[in-house]
Amino acid sequence: MADAIINGIGGLTVGFQMLAVDWRNGIMLIVGFVLLYLGIKKDCEPLLLVPIGFGCILVNIPLSDVMSQEGFIRAIYDAGIVTELFPLLIFIGIGAMTDFGPVLAQPSTFLLGAAGQFGIFLTLLLALALGFPQLDAVSIGIIGACDGPTAIYVTSKYAPHLLGAVSVAAYSYMSLVPIIQPPIMRLLTTKKERMTVMKAVAKPVSKTTKILFPLVITILGGLIAPKGLPLLGTIMLGNLMRESGVVSRLTKASENEIANVVTLFLGLCIGATMVGSAFVKAQTLIILGLGFVAICLDTVCGVCMGKVMRVVTGGKVNPLIGAAGISAFPMAARVVQKEGAKWNKKSYLLMHAMGANAGGQIGSVVAAAVMLSVLAGMGIIR
C-alpha cells in the first residue's frame, strides 16, 4: 500500500522532474510569458501574441499532450494549418477590412508596393548564403512580406518545422515597424527630400472601378502566378464583398466573427509549434535576425523607389512614402505621416502613404504568389 501511495505521489511530481530534465521547456515557458507581456502590457499585436504566448506555455509544460496525436491543439492544427485554411480565412477578413481606394486613386503607388517586397528576395539570398536549405530559405525570406498570414501560408506548406520562428518574427517585427522604419528613412533621405510637400490626392474613384478591381486583380494575378491564387483570391473576395455593398452580413462576419475565431486558433497553433526541443536553437535566433534584416531591406528598397519616383516626377514625390510600401497596414502609412510632419508641419503624406501601403498589401501577396509560381516553374515544388 505504501508503494502505491509513493507511486501516486510520484505521478504528481513527474512534471517537475521532467522540467528539470529538459531545461529548454523552462526557457520556452519564459518566452511564452515574454510574449504575453508584450501583448498585454506593451500592446504589441495582442490579438496574436496573447494566444501565441499561451499556446507556447501550454505546449512546454512537461508531458503536455496538447500537440500529441489526440491533443486538442493538434486537432485544430491539422484542421486549419495543415490544410492552409486559417491564413486564407484571415485573408478574406483582411480584404473585407481594407479600403484600396487610395491605391486606385494613384495606381503608380503599386510600384512602391513592389519595391517594399524586395527584402523577401534579398533575405532569401542571405538565408541561402548562411546554409539554410532552399525551401527553408524561401520561408525565411517571406518574413519580408511583413504579412503574417502570407508568411504562415508559405511556411506551413514548405517548411512547417519553422512555423513558430517565422510567425513570431513576422508578427513581432510588424508591430515594431514604428521603431524600425524611422531611422532608416532618415538615413536614406536628405532634409530637403523629407520636407517635400505632396499635392493632395483629390481624384475620386468610381464604385464600378472599386468593384472591378478585385475581379481584375484576381484574374490577372491568377493568370500570372496561379500557385498564389488562394492568397490573392481570398483577399480579393473579401474586398469584393466590401465594395459591392450587397452582402454586408458576410462582410461583417468575415472581418469580425470569422477573423476573430481564426485568429484565436491560429495563435494557439503557432504557439503550440514552439516546443523547447525544436525552438531553442541557434537557428531560431538566426531566423529572427534574418527577419529583422528582411524588414529593414524592405524599407530601404521602398525609400529608394520613392527617390526614383521623385527624380522621374521632377521632385514632386516625398521619398518617405516609399517606406509605406510594405504590408503592415495601416501602421506603415501612419509612421510615414508622423515622420513627414516631424520635418515639415505643412506636409500631409497620409493619403499618399495609404496608397503605397495598400499597394504593399497587394504587393506582399503578389510577391508570395510569384515566388510560389517561380518555384513550381523550376520544379522545386509541385
Which of 191, 192, 199, 203 binds another protein (CB under 8 A)? It is: 203
Backbone angles phi, psi at 94, to 5 degrees: -65, -45
Q: Is 88 in the site for another protein (CB under 8 A)?
A: no
Which of 104, 235, 241, 320 binds another protein (CB under 8 A)? It is: 104
Question: Which CB, 214 or 267, lies closer to another protein?
Answer: 214
The least CB distance from residue 87 to another protein, in Å, is 19
The least CB distance from residue 373 to another protein, in Å, is 8
The least CB distance from residue 357 to another protein, in Å, is 14
Q: Is 362 in the site for another protein (CB under 8 A)?
A: yes
Measured from the Cβ of residue 335, the count of other Cβ atoms closer than 10 Å reads: 25
Q: Is 122 in the site for another protein (CB under 8 A)?
A: yes
Q: Is 312 in the site for another protein (CB under 8 A)?
A: no
Q: Is 115 in the site for another protein (CB under 8 A)?
A: yes
∠ Cα 41 46 49 (to 5°): 100
Handedness of CA 216, 221, 223, 228 (dihedral sign): negative
Q: Is 244 in the site for another protein (CB under 8 A)?
A: no
Q: Is 208 in the site for another protein (CB under 8 A)?
A: yes
Stretch that binds another protein, among 107-115, 268-276, 291-299, 335-343 (CB under 8 A): 107-115
Q: Is 294 in the site for another protein (CB under 8 A)?
A: no
Q: What is the Cα–Cα distance from 337 to 341, expressed in whole angstroms?
A: 6
Name the one residue in this structure whose C-alpha cell is 481584375.
216
Q: Is 124 in the site for another protein (CB under 8 A)?
A: yes
Cα 9 to the center of its chain, rounded Å: 46
Spatial CA neighbour of 231 closest among 147, 354, 120: 147
DSSP for 278-339, written as a single string: HHSSHHHHHHHHHHHHHHHHHHHHHHHHHHHHHHHTTS-S-GGGGGG-SSSTTHHHHHHHHH
Which of 110, 158, 173, 279 binds another protein (CB under 8 A)? It is: 110
Cα 97 to the center of its chain, rounded Å: 16
Q: Which residues contact another protein (rule: CB under 8 A)?
A: 103-105, 107-111, 113-115, 117-118, 120-122, 124-125, 128-129, 134, 137-138, 203-206, 208-209, 212-213, 216-217, 220-221, 224-225, 359, 362-363, 366-367, 370-371, 373-375, 377-378, 380
